[in-house]
Amino acid sequence: GESVGLHLPTLSVQEGDNSIINCAYSNSASDYFIWYKQESGKGPQFIIDIRSNMDKRQGQRVTVLLNKTVKHLSLQIAATQPGDSAVYFCAENSPPGQLTFGSGTQLTVLP
Amino acid sequence: DAGVIQSPRHEVTEMGQEVTLRCKPISGHDYLFWYRQTMMRGLELLIYFNNNVPIDDSGMPEDRFSAKMPNASFSTLKIQPSEPRDSAVYFCASSLNRVTDTQYFGPGTRLTVL
């Protein structure tokens, strides 16, 4: 079946640098995507979402980019802080009516 | 807003015992979801409800698993009998109106079956 996947299971960045977390999806019919952040011992927390009629959406220090041509989603975190260390999941609304989550990327912010 | 509330936070039980996990969704949310998270399989949807009615339970692994939502503010996920392979973190989430509206997750229940 079609699924959401992540390119890198782990990512380490220096504090203050920008982080980019990538996600590939395979269902071209998906029209809604979400990024979640999960800190150790906690539930996933909503970060930002984007619908397929958009290419880019910005939040506070975060930007999500959607490239429908290559079915690619990315999360950019500006000026990464220690509190950003967590596992980041992308999710798509596939199959219809459900959210399917990717395997996650562990982001580690180095001092 | 208290957010989604789950209890217990941790549960350790022996194989064969019945386990009941509880969830209180955010007030006013029409959708409730139960997920299971393991290192091997990641985050999996087990079942979801709309207005207290189960809509899709295709993710429920076996007949040993059952879920109920007797009212808009309470849901249970029951495992009977439990097995070691059921060990995981179980999350409850709720969303406002549509199934793909932002889902708000609870803190999870870490279940260990010995």
Which residues on chain A are in Cβ contact (under 8 Å) with B97? Answer: none
Q: Is A12 exposed, middle or buried (0-12, 13-18, 19+ CB in 10 A)?
A: exposed
Which positions in chain A have a beta carbon within 8 angstroms of at least one beta carbon in chain B? 32, 34, 36, 41-46, 49, 89, 93, 97-104
Residues of chain A with Cβ-Cβ distance to B9 below 8 Å are: none
How many interchain CB pairs under 8 A, A with B?
45
* pLDDT the model gives residue B34: 97
Asked if the Cβ–Cβ distance from A97 to B99 is below 8 Å, we say yes
Average pLDDT, rounded, for chain A: 89
User: 3-state class of A82 per DSSP?
Assistant: helix
Q: What percentage of chain A carries pLDDT values higher than 90? A: 69
* Closest chain B CA to residue A92: B100
Residue A64 in this model has a pLDDT that exceeds 70: yes
Residue range A19-63, pLDDT digits in tens: 999 999 878 888 899 999 999 989 999 999 999 999 999 999 999
Answer whether B56 sits within 8 Å of A98, measured CB to CB. yes
Q: Tell me what percent of chain A is helix, strand and coil, each rounded to the nearest 5.
A: 5, 50, 45
Shortest Cα distance, chain B CAs vs residue A41, angstroms: 8
From first to last of the 114 residues of chain B, give the pLDDT tens digit: 689 999 999 999 999 999 999 999 999 999 999 999 988 888 899 999 999 999 999 999 889 999 999 999 999 999 999 999 999 999 999 998 776 678 899 999 999 999
Question: A11 has which bridge partners?
Answer: A107
B23-43: b or e for each residue (b if 16 or more CB lie within 10 Å)? Answer: bbbbeebbbbbbbbbeeeebb
Whether B107 sits inside 8 A of A42 (CB atoms) is yes
> Which of A45, A88, A99, A101 would best serve as a mutation to test chain B binding (most B beta carbons within 10 A)?
A99
